[in-house]
């Protein structure tokens, strides 16, 4: 018994530490929703701050919570699943009204999701999916169709090289290993280009969705493969890092090596308009308003659709020039 109590105390302390270790982007923080005592309290566990997309997503969630009068408890998991599990457990202990999170990887969530279910706290998945067989563990999943994004990237490539007969050597910078966007953007792309054997993925490695890792891995690709025609990067940030590596190797990004990325954040769009990227598949980070709507419904016990897919487009270099001035993020 004593042991059990002390374990609870330790868990409580861990939760308190988690909620208290506020840094600018990390740790826990609480934003008042402006509402009274009956304001909905949402515990939100964010993946991290790995990319421009993520920064825009965090801002969207925080701004929308304020606007909706929802009190937001926010924590940044720094791309670690264990931190997300700790955050979710702490939200369960704090008896929040609803938990929302963007799961860093797809697998390994059943136990903690069952704990939330046992405590009668509804869970909303936002941005990324989990692979749990039991879909009753969450109320809804709001986010993009990443397979579709990968397909759009592949379709552009097929069209771009429709008259070529030579082999097209492709290198791929994958997102975080095990994450839904990395898995799905890879498979959607592979499915489309797989129809024509001239397309060859000669190297594929994770760049963890960051600029620094994108640069590092692209440097290694360039050393190992002198004959790269195309880079497919699962996000803009890795593509931007890779551009530095390509320029460092004396090659011209967008010309010597064609580049396709996903996201369409401002820096990516600027590189596209400048001719350094050739095509971007959009993935919208502005999920906050829909998330708050869903949260209100779920807390009120109303039914919500099991899946809410974000609407997205694609950008060529010309379209990027047009869209840039009014781009919000």
Please tell me whether residue 106 binds ligand GYE under the rule CB under 6 A.
no
Smallest gap from Cβ 37 to ligand GYE, in A, equals 35
Pick the closer one to ligand GYE by CB: 47 or 116.
Answer: 47
Question: Which one-letter DSSP state was computed for residue 325?
Answer: G
Tokens 């493969």 belong to residue: 225
Q: Which residues contact 325 (CB under 8 A, 6 or more apart)?
A: none
The single residue listed with the structure tokens 């090289």 is 161
Is 215 near ligand GYE (CB under 6 A)? no
Instruction: Report the residue number, 107 or 167, with the smaller CB distance to ligand GYE.
Output: 107
Q: Which is nearer to ligand GYE, 185 or 296 (CB)?
A: 185
Q: Does 50 bind ligand GYE (CB under 6 A)?
A: yes
**Residue 259 · residue 231 · CB < 8 Å:** yes
- How far apart, in Å, are the Cα atoms of 308 and each of 139, 140, 279? 11, 7, 26
233 is a site residue for ligand GYE (CB under 6 A)? no
**Nearer to ligand GYE by C-beta: 90 or 126?**
126
Using CB under 6 A as the binding rule, whether residue 51 contacts ligand GYE is answered as yes
Q: Binder to ligand GYE among 235, 261, 278, 317 (CB under 6 A)? A: 235
- Sole binder of ligand GYE in the list 19, 40, 53, 106 (CB under 6 A): 53
Contact 74, 61 (CB under 8 A): yes
Q: Which residues contact 318 (CB under 8 A, 6 or more apart)?
A: none
Site string for ligand GYE, 161-200 (x = CB under 6 A): --------------------x-------------------
Q: Show Cβ contacts of residue 223 under 8 Å, excluding neighbours closer than 6 positions.
A: none
Angle between helices 236-248 and 211-224 (to 10 degrees): 50
Say how far residue 275 (Cα) sits from the centre of its chain.
25
Alpha carbons 289 and 303: distance in angstroms, whole number = 18
Residue 253 in contact with ligand GYE, rule: CB under 6 A? no
Our finding on whether 263 is near ligand GYE (CB under 6 A) is yes
Q: Which residues ranging from 124 to 153 are in contact with ligand GYE (CB under 6 A)?
A: 127-128
CA 289, CA 287: separation in Å to the nearest integer? 6
Helix (H) or strand (E) holding 233: strand 230-233
The correct pick among 40, 283, 287, 295 for binding ligand GYE (CB under 6 A) is 283
* Residue (128 or 186) nearer to ligand GYE, CB: 128
Of the candidate spans 23-31, 47-55, 116-124, 305-313, the one that interacts with ligand GYE by CB under 6 A turns out to be 47-55
The DSSP 8-state label assigned to residue 23 in this structure reads -
Element holding 296 (H helix, E strand): helix 288-299
| 209 contributes a contact to ligand GYE by CB under 6 A | yes
Under the binding rule (CB under 6 A), the answer on residue 287 touching ligand GYE is no
Q: Which residues are at the interface with ligand GYE (CB under 6 A)? A: 50-51, 53-54, 127-128, 181, 209, 235, 237, 262-263, 283
């Amino acid at each position: 018994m004593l042991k059990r109590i002390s374990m609870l105390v330790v868990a409580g302390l861990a939760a308190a530490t988690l909620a208290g270790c506020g840094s600018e982007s990390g740790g826990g923080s609480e934003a008042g929703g402006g509402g009274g005592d009956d304001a909905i309290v949402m515990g939100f566990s964010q993946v991290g701050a790995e990319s421009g997309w993520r920064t825009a997503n965090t801002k969207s969630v925080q701004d929308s919570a304020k606007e909706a009068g929802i009190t937001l408890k926010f924590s940044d998991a720094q791309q670690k699943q264990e931190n997300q599990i700790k955050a979710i457990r702490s939200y369960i202990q704090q008896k929040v009204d609803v938990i929302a999170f963007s799961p860093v990887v797809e697998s390994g969530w059943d136990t903690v999701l069952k704990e939330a279910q046992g405590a009668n706290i509804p869970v909303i998945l936002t941005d990324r999916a989990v692979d749990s067989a039991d879909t009753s563990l969450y109320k809804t999943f709001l986010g993009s169709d990443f397979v579709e994004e990968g397909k759009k990237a592949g379709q552009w490539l097929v069209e771009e090289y429709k008259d070529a007969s030579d082999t097209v050597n492709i290198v791929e910078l994958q997102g975080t290993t095990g994450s839904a966007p990395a898995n799905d953007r890879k498979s959607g792309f592979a499915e489309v280009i797989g129809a024509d054997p001239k397309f060859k993925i000669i190297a594929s490695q994770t760049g963890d969705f960051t600029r620094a890792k994108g640069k590092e891995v692209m440097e290694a690709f360039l050393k190992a493969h002198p004959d790269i025609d195309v880079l497919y990067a699962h996000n803009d940030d890795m593509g931007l890092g890779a551009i530095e590596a390509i320029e460092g190797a004396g090659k011209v990004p967008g010309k010597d090596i064609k580049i396709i990325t996903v996201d369409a954040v401002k820096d990516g769009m600027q590189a596209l308009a400048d001719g350094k990227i050739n095509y971007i598949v959009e993935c919208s980070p502005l999920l906050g308003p829909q998330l708050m709507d869903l949260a209100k419904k779920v807390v009120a016990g109303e039914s919500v659709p099991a899946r809410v897919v974000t609407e997205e487009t694609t950008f060529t270099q010309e379209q990027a020039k047009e869209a840039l001035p009014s781009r919000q993020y």
